[in-house]
Amino acid sequence: MSIDQRLAELGITLPQPAAPVASYVPAVEQGGLLHISGQISFAEDGSLIKGRLGKTWISTAGSLPRAGVE
């Protein structure tokens, strides 16, 4: 099963990434893990997701913004 198929099965739609404003690599895959840096999380309504995991967000909610990362 491809990543796209799995996301569709889970009902997750990823937004188009924002255009880079500097020269950097937004994600690097190594050893089967995707390391993401410098990206901003947006909710489905387009609002910015703010907070700190463990303070504003409980640890189980830490995986929720992943679908809105731009």
Residue 34 is assigned to a structural domain of this protein: no
Q: pTM score > 0.75 for this model? A: no
Residue 41's φ and ψ, nearest 5 degrees, are: -95, 130
Within a domain: 24:
no
Give how many domains the chain has, as a whole number: 1
Q: Is residue 68 part of a domain?
A: yes
Chain mean position to CA 48: 12
Can you tell me the mean pLDDT for 63-70? 52
Confidence class of residue 60 from pLDDT cuts 50, 70 and 90? low
What pLDDT is stored for residue 70 in this prediction?
Answer: 45
Helix (H/G/I), strand (E/B), else coil: 61? helix
Which helix (H) or strand (E) segment holds residue 4: the answer is helix 3-10
6-49 tens-digit pLDDT: 989 989 888 887 776 777 777 889 998 888 777 777 777 888 87
Domain containing residue 1: 1-17+39-70
Return the pLDDT at 9.
92
